């Protein structure tokens, strides 16, 4: 009976230990990521050279250079990228990995046409030598006619 109770106790203890990953602390790192998100704009380099990006058509780029070439090929120009305040959700893992979900207003030119769209982005950042860079990103255009955005409620 004693080995059974000991086993149950150890399983419970290990489950509690693994379930308690703290991803909401790291205030300095969270602020660094917020500043990085707010400083995004045309010509701003926040990508690691080996980043993976998924474009609007589902195409995959396996480097920053491929991502730039894909934009040129599609005649796509980012004019501005602005986060909607209060709509960024940041999780930090071990002080060096950040997973970010953010809602942004994007002003973009596609094949000569100006478009203003809202995009929900999921991005992963890595801190290397004291600097953050994006290692992965994918966005989904938010169709506000089907799914209106409620910026007042928080999950």
Residue 15 has pLDDT above 60, yes or no: no
* 131 in any annotated domain: yes
Is the CB of residue 136 less than 8 Å from the CB of residue 123? yes
- For residue 17, pLDDT beyond 60: no
Residue 72: inside a domain, yes or no? yes
CA distances from 64 to 45, 53, 54, 95 (A): 9, 8, 11, 24
Q: Which two tokens stand for residue 17?
A: 């230990």
- Angle formed at CA 80 by CA 76 and CA 86, multiple of 5 degrees: 130
pLDDT in tens, 30-39: 999 999 988 8
Domain that holds residue 68: 24-141
Whole-model pTM: value is 0.76
Q: What is the mean pLDDT of the chain?
A: 82
- Which pLDDT score is estimated for 58? 82
Domain CATH code at residue 65: 3.10.450.50
Task: Give domain status of residue 12, yes or no.
Answer: no
Residue at 49 is within a domain: yes
Amino acid 94: pLDDT: 92
Residues 108, 79: Cα–Cα separation, whole Å: 5
For the residues 19-29, what does the mean pLDDT come to? 78
- Our count of domains for the chain comes to 1
């Amino acid at each position: 009976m004693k080995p059974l109770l000991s086993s149950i106790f150890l399983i419970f203890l290990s489950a509690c230990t693994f379930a308690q990953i703290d991803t909401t602390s790291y205030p300095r790192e969270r602020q660094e990521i917020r500043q990085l998100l707010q400083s995004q704009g045309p010509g701003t380099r926040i990508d690691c050279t080996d980043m993976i990006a998924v474009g609007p058509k589902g195409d995959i780029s396996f480097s920053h250079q491929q991502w730039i070439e894909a934009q040129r090929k599609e005649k796509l120009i980012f004019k501005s990228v602005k986060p909607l305040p209060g709509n960024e959700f940041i999780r930090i893992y071990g002080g060096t990995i950040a997973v970010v979900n953010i809602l942004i207003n994007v002003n973009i030119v596609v094949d000569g046409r100006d478009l203003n769209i809202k995009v929900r982005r999921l991005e992963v950042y890595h801190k290397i030598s004291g600097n953050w860079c994006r290692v992965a990103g994918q966005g989904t255009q938010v169709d506000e006619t089907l799914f209106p955005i409620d910026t007042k409620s928080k999950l």
